[in-house]
Amino acid sequence: MSFFKIRTIALTAAFAGIAGTAAFAQTEVKIGYALAPTSHYGVAAQKWQEIVEAETDGKFAFRHFPSSGLGGEREVVEGLQIGTVEATIVSTGTLSNFVPETGVTDIPFLFRDLGHARRVLDGPIGQDILSKFDDAGLVALAWGEQGFRHITNNRNAIHTPDDVAGMKLRTMENPVHLAAFNALGAAPTPMAWPEVISSLQQGTIDGQENPLSVIVSVKLDEVQEYLTLSGHVYSPAMLLVSRPFWEGLSDEDKAAFEKGATEAVTAMRAFVDDVEQSGVETLKERGMEVNELSADEKAAFRASVEEAYEGYYDQYGQELIDSIAATE
């Protein structure tokens, strides 16, 4: 065989290899979220990946950054805006900094139960809020869920608003939550999640508030003594994609990400449903002292934050708040 024939065969094989590599090249999707892979965030992220991969024949390779591996939630969302991060599952606590209307979901004692909240967010009100993320350079695909928020602390059991007076409670960086806890007489302390556990250990703060899905998954029982099932705020989450990334997708790829987000929400809500049933017993077994506010006690808390509602009406409009409350 001549040198030129051997060279031709070699070059043909090399180009075939390059073409094959190109044909199977995957697009990386960095997805960041605040909690562990075993949490409701992790379950949703895995389902999102699973569906996208199945729908696109493995065209996309998800790279997970759980447990705040890319920084706090605000940093991750800013990463989406500039295109250095492709996707996230994020609490709404920080999102009102990007789309103020999101804050309406954080108003205390607004949602009656999980079913009510899901109907609102899956309906016209929730979908209208999602559409507003376009102007923030983000693509909001779906509402996720964490459940109702409850208070943990190391100071005392809570039955009345007086029991939280002066209590240093970590809250999300969210003006709606801050207004509510200020009205209760607490000392709300906004803090990014990665700082919370160490602050509880050091006694910088007395307690925090989060859904059972978070309290159980991050083992807050190891640093907190009391759990009060206050259910004071429903806590949604959101599945977001970077707009620069989104605009580079084909219509078929976009449909895959949308389908994946929808099924991720279903998985996330199933996780929340399960932990709402089992979480309390789990935390009791781990040694937490648990009490649940009675209907009368909860009414007293609702009355104590009434003054904050005037500010909420001014900010979000009484018509919107009343329409959420009236949703069947």
Q: What are phi and psi of 267, to 5 degrees?
A: -65, -40
Tokens for 317, please give them. 């409009």
User: Which pLDDT score is estimated for 19?
Assistant: 39
328 close to 113: Cβ distance less than 8 angstroms = no
Distance CA 226, CA 291 (A): 8
CATH placement of domain 3-326:
3.40.190.170
> How many CB atoms lie under 10 A from the CB of residue 258?
18
User: Which pLDDT score is estimated for 24?
Assistant: 56
- Beta carbons within 8 Å of 37's beta carbon, 6+ residues apart: 45, 46, 64, 66
- Beta carbons within 8 Å of 90's beta carbon, 6+ residues apart: 33, 34, 73, 76, 77, 237, 238, 240
* pTM exceeds 0.95: no
User: Running DSSP on this structure, what letter comes out for residue 109?
Assistant: T
Distance CA 132, CA 286 (A): 42
Distance CA 140, CA 259 (A): 13
Distance CA 136, CA 141 (A): 14
User: Running DSSP on this structure, what letter comes out for residue 126?
Assistant: H
Q: Hey, is 197 helix, strand or coil?
A: helix
User: Which pLDDT score is estimated for 169?
Assistant: 97
Q: Hey, is 215 helix, strand or coil?
A: helix
User: Would you list the domain boundaries of the chain?
Assistant: 3-326
Tokens for 51, please give them. 């569906």
**pLDDT per 10-residue tile (average), the chain, 328 residues:** 41 40 75 95 98 97 97 96 98 90 94 96 97 96 96 97 97 86 94 92 96 92 97 96 98 98 98 92 96 95 92 94 96
Tokens for 302, please give them. 């609702």
